[in-house]
Structure 1
Amino acid sequence: TKDRLATIEAIRIVETAIRDPFDHWLADNPQEASKLLEWVIARADERVRRRQEKEVSRKSAVRKLRLPGKLADCTQNAAAGAELFIVEGDSAGGSAKQARDRASQAVLPLRGKILNVASAGNDKLAGNQQISDLIQALGCGTRSKYRDEDLRYDRVIIMTDADVDGAHIASLLITFFYQEMPALVRGGHLYLAVPPLYSIRQGGKVAYARDDAHKDELLRTEFTGRGKVELGRFKGLGEMMAVQLKETTMDPRKRTLLRIDVIDAEAATKDAVDALMGTKPEARFRFIQERAEFAETEVLDI
């Protein structure tokens, strides 16, 4: 019966019977038609993703682990205590490689624009070199193929510039981990580094501020004595000396890390990610409209 239904004759009969009524139903029910289209696209994307996962698994079984050339790996083999710093660009990567503890800290520079996986199709995702390098470096697979025991690092640390551009890059990377490796996030492996935006000097005294509010607080409480106060603003991680980057952002004894977690309201989190990072600009516009009154005008990047 299945073979008969797959013949050209059967296809013609079925198409003649349902094509026009189905077209009319789609035209009369645009919301249901849109949901049906989204469902079909999602199923097609899932089939493509599964084929790609099988191909990756097959290749992994017949060859040794190939780490990306840009990765400056740590020397220890055990994942416990090992850290991977993800930075943007070769300049920041160079400073981070000099500042790291080679025994336990690895650095992976990513070049170019980070892909927004929430709005990209599977073809773009599979063909993106940065995403491929990141997945290879972590070694744990994605989605249904994720294996926590194969994760090569205990902490995965996103380290971007302390400005708006850096925050944008960090949000794109967090979106990647949320969508492709949610178990890594829930397992407490994903962190944000907190590099300084300002350096403050007065005589032999030096302090670092993470943002404008912190800078104002330090000036008000710590630099009240006589003498000229020198204020410097870092344009990016690449402009920091390696010793400064180590002291403020990478040294476990002195740094601050923010752990990324998923709140209990799973559906609300997914809706927020879809609205802010998805393909529908009207959802972002509505999100901004609903929350515009809570924005602090002094911190907006206008």
Structure 2
Amino acid sequence: MAVEEVKRRGAKVKEALIESKDQRWHCRNRVTLVFGSNDIEELDTYVYTTDSLEFKKVNFHQAKSKAIEEILDNCIDEFYRGHVTEIHCNLSPDGKVVTVQDNGIGFPLAKMKDVYTEFRTGSKFKDEEVDDKGFLYRTLGQNGLGASATCLTSDMFKATVRHYNSKKEQTYEFIDGALKIHKTKEKPFKGPSGVRVELTLAKEVYKNQVVDKELLRKRIIDLAYNNPGLTFYFNDEKYLYKKGLFELAQRIDGTTAQLIGDEKFVYETTNIKGAKVKAQYDVHVSVTFDKKSDDKERMISFVNSTPTYDGGFHHDRIKRLYINTIKDKLERTAKKDKLTLVDNDVLAGMTFVIGIVMPNPRFESQTKRKLVRDALLEKALETFMADGMTKFMRKNQELLDHIMERAKSRQRMMDLKDASKLAKKGKKQRVEKLLDANERKDRTKCALFICEGDSAIGGLRSARDKMYQGGIALKGKPMNVSQASIKEVLENQEFADIMSSIGLAIGQKAEAQELRFSKIVFLADSDVDGGHINTLLTNFFFTFWPEMFEKGMIQIAKAPLFEVVTDKGTIYCESTDELEKLKVRKDIKIKEIMRNKGLGEMSQEAFKHVLSRKDFTKISVKDMSASKSMLETCFGKESQLRKDLLIDSDEIDVDLTNVIAGNKAKKKSEARA
């Protein structure tokens, strides 16, 4: 392609300066390319206490931490190869000198200078390399950068290698990023072979040479949990675990810690040369769960012992398989209850402890904080979770029930928000059925009578104190709110009218000063059906506004069952017992006894007698928990609770007795029928 236009320039222009920098300069001045951020970041993680651990935010220096970890990772790689049984790590009192030593086999002394000063020098470049059983090696180091980058960014780096095969040892001391190198002569050694590294990070590179003791201790203990059977020492504290990461889960919460699985998967594959080799994948997943917590799930994960703070493929796949398996299990129940499960219903309060050991893991960067996809690992995880979750769900029906309750609670909160919006609209709407009180200035003086049927409201209309008494009629029996969703309650026209008339809103507390009526009085027939209506209304108000009972706002007006005309006037009896007592009195003469079958048959005088009282029978509640339990027994979905209650007639012992007894009597009559 021809260039059509040439930019006009002067006779001579300044060119870019082309430089060549050595590895030392590049590593020290571009340390973030190798070890990640060289600034302090706030990291959500955990630290170990004496016998537990604490989740918290810590000040984390990625580059400094990784520089030390690279030396520890070399020890772990030797453990994977079967050569290391002990790893010792020490931090000087001033936090500046770190020492790491293992009892592995070391490496050829002639390679010491290259290993610690030259990039791309190491023993783990051949991804196809296998052990004597044909298995691909599983390792952390892959790029030949780690140890040399640590050395080049240290003020002092002293390495002693005791080589098992040659039976010789040698020490190299690299000063100021290997600008100066001192070495001892090779000589025979006594005792165990292995590698010992002592270092002080460069102040010029890291600005602060002090290593965080708490986070270094955390790294050592993490390694001990990831490598059961491998003994670690940190400043002479010993760490050795036999059950591995499951013991970490138990340390988080010994009560709820459960093992989903700890399995090994072997697959036959081919290396880059096309030769058949075997690949082993070790997968561990443990969980703990806090039912009281609505916090987002926590993920503690490791790949070949290194913490994957940023997650990656293993995180995403295990979490999704866990969620989907539980959702599938609960799908029928959720559909029956008209619920939609969301991920947070399943995950809230959970802590996952994940450990993967695999050949040739690939990370997004040298910091190894995020794992990328691996086809064989995906295959292993699919099988692992399918088998493990089947057993897990079989043992954890209580957890599954809790997830459903959490979904119901979330749905309830959503419905409450909808209810609040509807309530604002409802307060502005006129209720056609409401017979309102005329008082406008002080509505705390007003009482609303909820009557059984239109005939009752007719009697109320003519007998009430129009200034302070209002009324609204029910058609038949009200809804049982214990077996209905909030949405269904909101869609119930009678309850919607009652709430609008009073100024109540589901999800908002009832404050007497803000309501249109401060006293709610049930006025139903004095029979079993009337008692049932009273209990259903009680259940409605108690479910959504229990505080109204504490304030004595919910009351019952007992309609007289008998109107007795005597020589001294009409006397009203609310029960047969009262009538019998009246009959034996000597001071009066009974002329006529009229029995009211319902409110519609009451005389206007009887209505006035009922409404003339200043106060009615208050439904009081001393024990909110017991009352809630009793209403759940009487009205909830679990029928067996009601059957048990009917058998044990002495069960009722709360202050809602007078109301609930009416419902109980009805249930008994139905049972006898």
The CA deviation at 1:222 is 5.8
Residue 563 of structure 2 corresponds to residue 199 of structure 1: yes
Amino acid at match of 1:284: R
Paired position in structure 2 for 1:246: 608
My pick for the range that moved more, 265-274 or 139-148, is 139-148
Aligned residue among 605, 617, 623 for 1:258? 617
User: SS of the residue aligned with 1:118?
Assistant: helix
Where does 1:255-294 land on structure 2 (aligned, <5 Å)? Answer: 257-263=616-622, 265-291=623-649
The CA deviation at 1:153 is 1.2
Q: Percent identity?
A: 26
Give the number of equivalent residue pairs: 290
Separation of aligned partners in 2, 1:6 and 1:69: 59
Aligned residue among 543, 550, 565 for 1:179? 543
Do the aligned partners of 2:419 and 2:506 also contact (CA within 8 Å) in 1?
no
User: SS of the residue aligned with 1:221?
Assistant: coil
Where does 1:23-172 land on structure 2 (aligned, <5 Å)? Answer: 23-28=390-395, 30=397, 32=398, 36-37=400-401, 39-58=402-421, 65-77=428-440, 78-172=442-536
Residue 372 of structure 2 corresponds to residue 11 of structure 1: no
Separation of aligned partners in 1, 2:426 and 2:588: 62
User: SS of the residue aligned with 2:481?
Assistant: coil
Do the aligned partners of 1:140 and 1:146 also contact (CA within 8 Å) in 2?
yes
Amino acid at match of 1:238: G
TM-score (norm 1): 0.82
Separation of aligned partners in 2, 1:129 and 1:165: 21
Q: If you compute each CA radius of gyration, which structure gives the higher value, 1 or 2?
A: 2
Separation of aligned partners in 2, 1:193 and 1:145: 25
Paired position in structure 2 for 1:235: 597
Q: Pick closer, same or farther for the CA change 1:96–1:22 going to 2, 3 Å.
A: farther
Amino acid at match of 1:290: D
The CA deviation at 1:165 is 0.8
Q: Pick closer, same or farther for the CA change 1:128–1:220 going to 2, 3 Å.
A: same
Amino acid at match of 2:641: A
User: SS of the residue aligned with 1:200?
Assistant: strand
User: SS of the residue aligned with 1:158?
Assistant: strand
Amino acid at match of 2:637: T
1:45-87 deviation per Cα after TM superposition (whole angstroms, max 9, x unaligned): 3333333333344455578621321001111122221110001
The CA deviation at 1:193 is 0.5
Across the aligned residues of Structure 1 and Structure 2, the Cα RMSD in angstroms comes to 3.3
User: SS of the residue aligned with 1:166?
Assistant: helix
My pick for the range that moved more, 153-162 or 60-69, is 60-69
Q: Pick closer, same or farther for the CA change 1:212–1:21 going to 2, 3 Å.
A: farther
The CA deviation at 1:245 is 0.8
1:172-218 deviation per Cα after TM superposition (whole angstroms, max 9, x unaligned): 10111111111111111111101101112245642111011111111
Amino acid at match of 2:572: Y
Higher relative contact order by CA 8 Å / sep ≥ 6: 1 or 2?
A: 1
TM-score (norm 2): 0.39
Q: Which has the higher strand share?
A: 2
Do the aligned partners of 1:198 and 1:232 also contact (CA within 8 Å) in 2?
yes
Q: Pick closer, same or farther for the CA change 1:236–1:58 going to 2, 3 Å.
A: same
Separation of aligned partners in 2, 1:267 and 1:213: 33
Do the aligned partners of 2:448 and 2:471 also contact (CA within 8 Å) in 1?
yes
User: Unmatched 5+ residue regions in structure 2?
Assistant: 1-309, 326-381, 653-660
1:119-175 deviation per Cα after TM superposition (whole angstroms, max 9, x unaligned): 222332122111111111111323445444322112111111111110110011011
